[in-house]
Amino acid sequence: MIKNDLFLRALKGETVERPPVWMMRQAGRYLPDFMKLKEKYDFFTRCRTPELATEITVMPIHQVGTDAAILFSDILVIPQAMNIEVEMKPGVGPWLPNPIRSAKDVEQVIVPNVEEELDYVFDAIKMTKLALNQEVPLIGFAGSPWTILCYAVQGQGSKNFDKAKQFCFTQPLAAHALLQKITDTTIAYLKQKVKVGVDAVQIFDSWGGMLSPVDYNEFSWQYIQQIIDALKDITPVIAFGKGCWYALDQMSKSGASALGVDWTCSAQNARAFTNGSITLQGNFDPSRLFSPPAEIKKMVHQMINDFGKDKYIVNLGHGILPNIPVENAQAFVDAVKEYKA
């Protein structure tokens, strides 16, 4: 039995004494101990070495005291396993030297045996579960098929993913073939994560907000729905579409256990769009962690009051920024733990 099961209870919509708290990208660059490892090992070495991934995953549990751990990994391990080369370039971020631009390129993409190609991830999960010693739940994650397509076609990060959208709109058959391959791989990957021990999974649709509502349905949501359908009976699923407030009503009927909300959507609107029917997660602006700790605490308490303490998981509206002072992240977590309804 997990000693602190607040997160899992909130996912079930149970009444809780206070909402649980964790932060997207909590195992990362704002922690000095993480930076020491970063100086020694490159990004994908950290992802592919179970001992390092475990150490990084457990760090924020011991150092800032979140109510859940999220496995240190990256959404781009999936395309790597699918025969798409991905590098992490300093100062650039993800870099794909041979982006996908044609139906012929899509044919070269494989649906791999995830147990073989991504075995290092599953080893890290087993190791992390031992290190956590049933203290808190462990979250596994994957990028949405659309978000993975964005990187695979664009070849790097982008403000508008124009090449990815052009590919979808000029070669829709090839785009859907690629999206389906990513979806099939992601389902197998997440199922295996559950099998080896994660307690919940989150789907990150980081670039969903790049699409219009109509295009979102065609190129993103229908594939996320396939993933939810395949996973919802074996584990709680959190769906997070950044910038996708317009889809919250539809998402709330998907069978997901919770929906992530970014800071551009108010608690009141998020509850209204979902008819109060589902657990919501979010939505503190990560940049607001630059505010003084006393102010952070005040704002967090207001945020909990706005969402309500039940059917709610406190989180940021996106990942924590690398230059946030640790004491400010600590103030964010402490504010939740000190909350009294």
Per-residue pLDDT tens digits for 239-274: 999 999 999 999 999 999 999 999 999 999 999 999
108 is in an annotated binding site: no
Task: Convert the pLDDT of each residue in 71-81 to its tens digit.
Answer: 999 999 999 99
Distance in angstroms (rounded) separating the CA atoms of residues 54 and 58: 6
Residue 289 lies in a domain: no
Residue 266 lies in a domain: yes
Over pLDDT 90: what percentage of the chain? 98
202 is in an annotated binding site: no
Displacement of CA 29 from its chain's centroid (Å):
16
Over pLDDT 70: what percentage of the chain? 100
Task: Convert the pLDDT of each residue in 107-144 to its tens digit.
Answer: 999 999 999 999 999 999 999 999 999 999 999 999 99
Q: What is the pLDDT of residue 82?
A: 98
Q: What is the pLDDT of residue 90?
A: 86
206 is in an annotated binding site: yes
73 is in an annotated binding site: no
CATH code of the domain containing 164 = 3.20.20.210
HEC assignment per residue over the chain = CCCCCHHHHHHCCCCCCCCCECCCCCCCCCCHHHHHHHHHCCHHHHHHCHHHHHHHHHHHHHHCCCCCEECCCCCCHHHHHCCCCCEEECCCEEECCCCCCCHHHHHCCCCCCHHHHCHHHHHHHHHHHHHHCCCCCEEEEEECHHHHHHHHHHCECCCCCHHHHHHHHHCHHHHHHHHHHHHHHHHHHHHHHHHHCCCEEEEEECCHHHCCHHHHHHHHHHHHHHHHHHHCCCCCEEEEECCCHHHHHHHHCCCCCEEEECCCCCHHHHHHHCCCCCEEEEEECHHHHHCCHHHHHHHHHHHHHHHCCCCEEEEECCCCCCCCCHHHHHHHHHHHHCCCC
> pLDDT-derived band of residue 295, with 50, 70 and 90 as boundaries?
very high
The answer to whether residue 148 scores a pLDDT higher than 90 is: yes
> In which domain, by residue range, is 213 found?
21-284
Residue 64 lies in a domain: yes
| Residue closest to 231 by CA, chosen among 310, 140, 148 | 140
Task: Convert the pLDDT of each residue in 207-250 to its tens digit.
Answer: 999 999 999 999 999 999 999 999 999 999 999 999 999 999 99
29 is in an annotated binding site: yes
Q: What is the pLDDT of residue 171?
A: 98
- How would you class 318 by CB atoms within 10 Å of its CB: exposed for 0-12, middle for 13-18, buried for 19 or more? buried
46 is in an annotated binding site: no
Residue 5 lies in a domain: no
Span 39-62, average pLDDT? 97
The answer to whether residue 91 scores a pLDDT higher than 90 is: no
Residue 53 lies in a domain: yes
| Residue closest to 52 by CA, chosen among 33, 65, 26 | 33
169 is in an annotated binding site: no
Residue 121 lies in a domain: yes
The total of structural domains in the chain comes to 1
Q: What is the pLDDT of residue 144?
A: 98
Give yes or no for a cis peptide into 283 (omega within 30° of 0).
yes
Q: What is the pLDDT of residue 41?
A: 96
The answer to whether residue 24 scores a pLDDT higher than 90 is: yes
| Residue closest to 104 by CA, chosen among 193, 171, 154, 59 | 171
44 is in an annotated binding site: yes
The answer to whether residue 341 scores a pLDDT higher than 90 is: no
277 is in an annotated binding site: no
Residue 112 lies in a domain: yes
140 is in an annotated binding site: no
Residue 92 lies in a domain: yes
Find out whether 73 and 47 touch, Cβ atoms under 8 Å. Answer: yes
Distance in angstroms (rounded) separating the CA atoms of residues 283 and 167: 32
**Would strands 93-95 and 87-89 be described as parallel, antiparallel, or unpaired?**
antiparallel
